[in-house]
Amino acid sequence: MDVSETVESAKENAGPTPETPAREATGYSWYVLTVLVVVYILNFIDRQIVSILAVDIKADLGLTDSDMGFLGGAAFAVFYALFGIPLGRLADNWNRVRLLSIGLALWSLMTALSGFARNQIELTLARMGVGIGEATASPTAYSLISDYFPKRQRATALAIYSSGLYIGGGVSLFIGALIVQAWNNAYPNGGPLNLVGWQAAFLAVGIPGILVALWVSSLREPVRGAMDGLAATSHESPFRAFFSDLSMIVPPFTLYGAWQRGPVALAINLLTASAIAAFAAWMIDLTGNLPQWSAVGFGYYAVFSWASTLRAKDPATFRLIWGTPAFICTTLGYGLVSLAAYALSFWSAPYAEIVLKLPKQELAFILGANGALAGFLGVIIGGRVADGLRAKYPAGRILVIILGVVGPIVPIWIGYTTEDSTLFYAMNFLAGMLGATALGAAAATTQDLVLPRMRGTATAAFFLGTTLVGLSFGPYMVGQISDLAGTMIDGKLVGNLRIGILSLIAVAPIALALLVSAYRLVPKAEASIVERARDAGELI
């Protein structure tokens, strides 16, 4: 591999060294974590604000529930997931603080530009840009946290970081509703630049992130592997590696890369591309949704190409990620947890507005506060419990992920069959809190299954599950089933969101099967990390 055997370039930064490791979190560690939580709050405000704006966007642009599911899901998720691959590797090889600062500025700018969209195509392109920028966030943050906190505190630290997800999602509802109502009251016929309320909301939440990016740039870069006592290597040409990784996922460069590995690799790549294209074409014909299945097909082909190239270029990383069933089962199992979580997060506000006829500002305040509090409590409690169970059982954290699967089932059923708004809010809170318990446990498990230098890549692979499985399909699945179960009224399709949301319960058995397998596999996989890495050629 093109790596050096020294960490001298990293030693000039503040922080412990592998030779004299500081194995305890410091006050500065907690300060860095606080900044990262703020970043993640902004991340999810910009990502989730589409939810509270969905009814207005749908009416203004003439879209269906499945169209909105695509905008809230795959339009963002595919590019978030795919660019997370090379950006995750760049996080492993370059200055993580700088990368996060650049990414935050980019996604904030693209969120603001969403406010100038006049049709579905323009809004889709802007959301793709948001996805690319946000792809820098968690690979850099997870890696930074792992180098600022020892293993015994890692799930707790990652859980605290992940609380930004729920706080941001909740705040996005309240801010979005407030801005839309204020703007539309002040400018009922369109305001400056002929913008309407939902467009003004995108501008208002996007611009502050550019300023926060300057704050992020002031953080110190820690030494990789210091908390684990493992001297991490530094890459001689991080950007050459980045563009090489980028070519792994962008056709036709993927074919060139396969050709370089030989005729068999090229044939397998072409055969896989043909199979994915045929499946996507069949789904387009079946559902009539060209953007969704084109994006998903492109995404899955790109992931296959990346994994194939990674196997040839970095066999040790491939072995510990794609070649480890414990990693795959944990990632896919949590991916299905996130499928339900993303779907509920996106559709709960439109459901309350359309089905229960609740006022936008009321539902936004209650659902936003509920979501923020439920998610924060769930992820913090889940992280603490996961660390406690990990101390007693090698695969104890998996039990918390399983709770995230089974816990929300009854609250979802009750909450989305009742006509009582109070019961709906209460059950939505309970479902959100129980589902949130799984995140810190899943993230920490995948981080502990790889070497320190691989953590950014492992994070990108983990988020393939949460995005290409969870976010790409969760909002869309609910929207598509809602359209299929809907009726035509005055020439317009009116979906059945209740049926769409209740269909989420059907994914629970699959998630449980994957997580039970993970519980059995994790102890042996974690105990053999160094041995398996050496067998794959790692110099350690």
Domain coordinates in residue numbering, the chain: 24-220+237-247+314-535, 248-313
Residue 112's Cβ-side half-sphere holds a number of Cα atoms within 13 Å equal to 12
Residue 141 is which amino acid?
Answer: A
CA angle, residues 189, 64, 58, in degrees to nearest 5: 20
Q: Per residue in 289-304, pLDDT tens?
A: 999 999 999 999 999 9
The model's confidence at residue 230, banded by pLDDT at 50, 70 and 90, is low
Give the best-scoring range by mean pLDDT among 217-226, 266-275, 391-400: 266-275
Q: What distance in Å separates the CA atoms of residue 134 and residue 115, rounded to the nearest whole number?
A: 18
Q: What distance in Å separates the CA atoms of residue 467 and residue 508, rounded to the nearest whole number?
A: 17
Q: What is the pTM of this model?
A: 0.82
Q: Does 4 score more than 50 pLDDT?
A: no
Q: Per residue in 433-444, pLDDT tens?
A: 999 999 889 999
Phi, psi of 128 (to 5 degrees): -60, -40
Q: Does 8 score more than 70 pLDDT?
A: no
Q: What pLDDT sits at residue 18?
A: 40
Q: Which class is domain 24-220+237-247+314-535? A: mainly alpha
Q: Which residues of 358-385 are buried (b: 16+ CB within 10 A; e: fewer)?
A: bebbebbbbbbbbbbbbbbbbbbbbbbb
Is the preceding omega at residue 188 within 30 degrees of 0, hence cis?
A: no
Q: What pLDDT sits at residue 125?
A: 95
Q: What pLDDT sits at residue 15?
A: 41
Q: What pLDDT sits at residue 6?
A: 31
